[in-house]
Amino acid sequence: MSTKSISSQSFNNEPFSNEPFSIEPVGNEPIARKSTPGEPTVAERSAEQIVSDEFMIARAKILELAATLDRIERATGDVDGSRPMQLLVQGMNILCDDEVEKVKRVQLLMSRQYEPQWQSDMAMEKKVS
| Domains of the chain, residue spans | 15-75, 78-110
Quote the CA–CA distance of 76 and 73 in Å, as a whole number.
8
Chain-centre distance for alpha carbon 94:
10
Sign of the C-alpha dihedral computed for residues 116, 120, 123 and 128 taken in this order: positive
| Residue 51: pLDDT band with limits 50, 70, 90 | very high
* pTM for the structure as a whole: 0.59
Which is higher by pLDDT, 71 or 12?
Answer: 71
* Contact between 93 and 9 (Cβ < 8 Å): no
Quote the CA–CA distance of 103 and 11 in Å, as a whole number.
12
Is the pLDDT score of 129 beyond 80?
no
* Contact between 12 and 102 (Cβ < 8 Å): yes
Quote the CA–CA distance of 104 and 109 in Å, as a whole number.
8
